[in-house]
Structure 1
Amino acid sequence: MELLIILLAVLTVFVVMAFYYEHPKAEIPHGIHQRQKLYLFHYCLNFAFGLAKFLEKVGITSEIYFLRTLMDGIPPLRDKNLCIKDLRFEDVEVRIYQPKGSTTGQRRGVVYFHGGVGLFGSIRAYERKCRYLARKTDSVVVSVGYRLAPEHPYPTQFEDCLTATIHFMRTAENYGVDPSRVIICGDSSGGTLTAAVAQALVNRTDLPKLRAQILIYPFLQVVDFNLPSYQQNEGVPILLKERTLTLGLRYLNKDLSVVEAIFKGCHIPEDLQLKYQKWVSPDYIPHEFKARGYKPFTTHPFSEELYTLVKTVFSPVFAPLLAEDSVIAQLPEAFILTCEFDVLRDDGLLYKKRLEDHGIKVTWCHLQQGFHGTVFLSLLGGVVAFRSGNKGLAKILDFLRSM
């Protein structure tokens, strides 16, 4: 009985910790369907973050290791329709999913980069998603197990993804894939990596051209954290505004005390402000996306010290929206998915505009009731699936089948 009381007391502490871990509190707009389900998921996520911090403080395990273990979850059962192999492309771990059965001609190939801000995520965490894509589109899918920070500092993650992609493009026929039908794909920070890899390949004459790139609610810029989507959705789970930058700085191993100064725009020198405003500006966000509220923001005085500390964030590898026009103009066809209730919505809208301004074909899917992570959650199925995510999945499958 006493043990039970102690366990209940400890659980109560964790519950309180979970409710107060995030600030500001979650804001679930009425435009999101299944609002109570999202609130419950947000609570569980906060509980996990709070518990991870507690376990690290008492010396049981590290916060990052605990969260990674939770994300990995329970692996699915064997799949009789797929041949699944763990391989290495150069020094990069990959898992390849090949549909069984014959096909007329060579299949398309999909190279997938998982999300997780370069800190979390794994091949195992994305097992269901990659199996689903392989089965539903009769594609050969390569899931890239790039190394994670902080053990492997940025830009190791980009370098691993680029290495794996190049290796696959050179050896695609060995896996029954048409080299001219290779598509790269990723969600969230995996979308960042997808855009960066596509940009890195534009001048490679020794490789086939990428067929397409699929960006699922990607993070793409660090110039303006006060775009309409950041203002409207700063408290919407699962990617709150503060969490976006905090995790990004942890990925880069930077001091978290600079978060507020970056939100105020103090990290950008005047010459870069003038350069980037051609590509990153609320003026380029269509009016209908400002209807839920937007107030123009005035940046604060520039800090040379802050710029020196964080200038890495302006690299197109970290912020692909800041790539030069000469690179953007050579990119392959794109599919971009955005969600209305996502702080990263306007990153996707601005990248869509840049691509289209240079004549690049873009297939755009906007989930009006969607939020960041909705597609990933829907792939888990069951009670955690959201209708908006199912719609996004269907659009992704349609795009892949058209390639």
Structure 2
Amino acid sequence: MRLRWAGGVLLSVAAAYYIYSPLPSDVNGPWKLMILDALFRSFIHVGDMAHALGICHSVHVLNSVVSWAEVIEARSSPTVHVTDSAFGGVPSRVFQPVGGGAKLRRGVVYFHGGGWALLTGRMRSYDVLCRRMAEELDAVIVSVDYRLAPEAVFPDQFHDALAASRAFLSSEVLQHYRVDPARVGVSGDSAGGNLAAAVAQQMSADDSLSVKFRIQALIYPVLQALDLNTPSYQQNKNVPILHRHLMARFWLLYLGANPSLLPHLLSSPSSLLHPPIPPSIRAYVNWTALIPAKHQKHYRHIAMETGSGEVKEVVPGLLDIRAAPLLAEQSVLSRTPQAYVMTCEFDVLRDDGLMYARRLQDAGIRVTSDHYDDGFHGCMAFAYWPFWFKVGKRSLDNYIHWLDHNL
């Protein structure tokens, strides 16, 4: 009996030790976030072990868990008709409000997050999000299932996002779904926010298109990999659910680069600058000039180092605005649609979003910058049971409210 009791105590202590991680006092729901992070880390460790043993790629383990726990069939309801389709050859799930007669509706093309390697638009959380958008906005929502790494690498994901967007904005498709061509937007979260921003830039610059997006709504987007030592990367490097080293791994996976380059990507801005990057490009990630002083705090630029020839293969992707929309010229940004940019204080990607909002404003674009002082990366997905966070519900409500008033 005593032995069993002692074993239970030891297991409890070990579990508490594994789950607990020091979090900022202002983050919403710290204990729930710790549990969520512990679950995610466990799956990552299992994936890494499977990868090391040669069983399968680590992300395949994570996606298998997602498929088992989260992926659901297309199920219609009395208010929303849900079907699986394809646009431009890219699998997509369509959410259409029931009824409405012959009136034209709004439309949104949505790209899911997951570091260009994980998740799917058929997950329960995205299903709930898109259903709510369809109902409350009386809009047709297209959730795009672009290809994922490691089988697909840049620019495959971008090409899928662009192909699906072009196909949906064709006159035939808009007519079929009774969508108003003047009221279509593009949106996405995290890596999906990256794709949404890149697609918005590409389509805005294409004068051959008769229909273009009216708005772009970017949810804690990832927009550059030249500097993974911005204040938000330094401040939140160990904050769930997107740790700094994990974001760097996603970047290397997306760009089809060797994982051994991880230390170079994390070291300093200049360790990846081979050949040297022009000052004009560097200015686009100069957070000392682009983000408010209250977010810069006491952080300083990491000391510059000599460029490494080992990372030459990564540089084209790092400088390509289709992968890093923050690096686009002002002339490109000035043609993009009205923007909504959501950022969270406790997110490594916070400064990417803040810098992009500032650059869009400087280019003359109307921008709504929606910042959450108690938010963390991915919080908007956690507005429902079992991982319900107040900031998740608040951010989701405000996101839909903005769409309703601007689309």
Once the 2 structures are TM-superposed, how far is the Cα of residue 339 of structure 1 from its aligned partner?
Answer: 0.2
Distance 1:308 1:124, change over 3 A: closer
- Matches for 1:276-355 after TM superposition, within 5 Å: 276-283=281-288, 284-291=290-297, 293-355=298-360
- Matches for 1:37-186 after TM superposition, within 5 Å: 37-56=32-51, 62-72=57-67, 73-74=69-70, 75=72, 78-102=76-100, 105-125=103-123, 126-170=126-170, 171-186=173-188
Which of 343, 360, 363 is residue 368 of structure 2 equivalent to? 363
Q: Structure 1: which amino acid aligns with 2:179?
A: V
**Cα deviations by residue, 1:266-313 (Å, 9 ceiling, x for unpaired):** 11147525122322112122111123x413322111123323444322
Q: Structure 1: which amino acid aligns with 2:243?
A: L
**Structure 1: which 5+ residue stretches go unaligned?**
none
Once the 2 structures are TM-superposed, how far is the Cα of residue 187 of structure 1 from its aligned partner?
Answer: 0.2
RMSD: 2.4
Distance 1:203 1:58, change over 3 A: closer
Distance 1:385 1:103, change over 3 A: farther
Q: Structure 2: which amino acid aligns with 1:151?
A: E
Distance 1:164 1:150, change over 3 A: same
Whether the aligned pair in 1 keeps the contact of 2:224 and 2:327 (CA below 8 Å) is yes
Partner of 2:196: 194
Higher mean displacement: 160-169 or 76-85: 76-85
Residues in 1 aligned to 2:242 and 2:48: alpha-carbon distance in whole angstroms: 18
Residues in 1 aligned to 2:121 and 2:307: alpha-carbon distance in whole angstroms: 41
**Cα deviations by residue, 1:144-167 (Å, 9 ceiling, x for unpaired):** 111112222321111111011111
TM-score w.r.t. structure 1 length? 0.89
> Alignment identity in percent?
35
- Matches for 1:9-48 after TM superposition, within 5 Å: 19=18, 26-48=21-43
TM-score w.r.t. structure 2 length? 0.88
2:218 corresponds to 1:223: no
Whether the aligned pair in 2 keeps the contact of 1:329 and 1:359 (CA below 8 Å) is yes
Once the 2 structures are TM-superposed, how far is the Cα of residue 53 of structure 1 from its aligned partner?
Answer: 3.1
Once the 2 structures are TM-superposed, how far is the Cα of residue 50 of structure 1 from its aligned partner?
Answer: 1.6
**Cα deviations by residue, 1:352-377 (Å, 9 ceiling, x for unpaired):** 01100011001111011000010012
Residues in 1 aligned to 2:50 and 2:150: alpha-carbon distance in whole angstroms: 19
- Matches for 1:262-281 after TM superposition, within 5 Å: 262-263=265-266, 264-265=268-269, 266-269=271-274, 271-281=276-286
Residues in 2 aligned to 1:282 and 1:57: alpha-carbon distance in whole angstroms: 37
Residues in 1 aligned to 2:45 and 2:262: alpha-carbon distance in whole angstroms: 20
SS for the counterpart of 1:151 is coil
**Cα deviations by residue, 1:29-62 (Å, 9 ceiling, x for unpaired):** 1011211110111111111112233445566655
Higher mean displacement: 67-76 or 231-240: 67-76
Partner of 1:250: 253
SS for the counterpart of 1:119 is coil
Residues in 2 aligned to 1:366 and 1:93: alpha-carbon distance in whole angstroms: 32
Q: Structure 2: which amino acid aligns with 1:35?
A: P
Residues in 2 aligned to 1:62 and 1:246: alpha-carbon distance in whole angstroms: 13
**Cα deviations by residue, 1:321-350 (Å, 9 ceiling, x for unpaired):** 011221111000000000000010000000
- Matches for 1:222-241 after TM superposition, within 5 Å: 222-241=225-244
Whether the aligned pair in 1 keeps the contact of 2:287 and 2:355 (CA below 8 Å) is no
Residues in 1 aligned to 2:49 and 2:274: alpha-carbon distance in whole angstroms: 39
Once the 2 structures are TM-superposed, how far is the Cα of residue 104 of structure 1 from its aligned partner?
Answer: 7.3
Distance 1:57 1:299, change over 3 A: closer
SS for the counterpart of 1:80 is coil
Partner of 2:216: 213
Residues in 2 aligned to 1:60 and 1:325: alpha-carbon distance in whole angstroms: 46
Residues in 1 aligned to 2:164 and 2:156: alpha-carbon distance in whole angstroms: 12
Once the 2 structures are TM-superposed, how far is the Cα of residue 252 of structure 1 from its aligned partner?
Answer: 2.1
Residues in 2 aligned to 1:175 and 1:104: alpha-carbon distance in whole angstroms: 10
Residues in 2 aligned to 1:174 and 1:55: alpha-carbon distance in whole angstroms: 46
Whether the aligned pair in 1 keeps the contact of 2:331 and 2:363 (CA below 8 Å) is no
Residues in 2 aligned to 1:152 and 1:258: alpha-carbon distance in whole angstroms: 19
Residues in 1 aligned to 2:134 and 2:159: alpha-carbon distance in whole angstroms: 25
**Cα deviations by residue, 1:208-249 (Å, 9 ceiling, x for unpaired):** 121100100000011211111111111101111111111211
Whether the aligned pair in 1 keeps the contact of 2:154 and 2:317 (CA below 8 Å) is no
Higher mean displacement: 64-73 or 208-217: 64-73
Equivalenced residue count is 385
**Structure 2: which 5+ residue stretches go unaligned?**
none
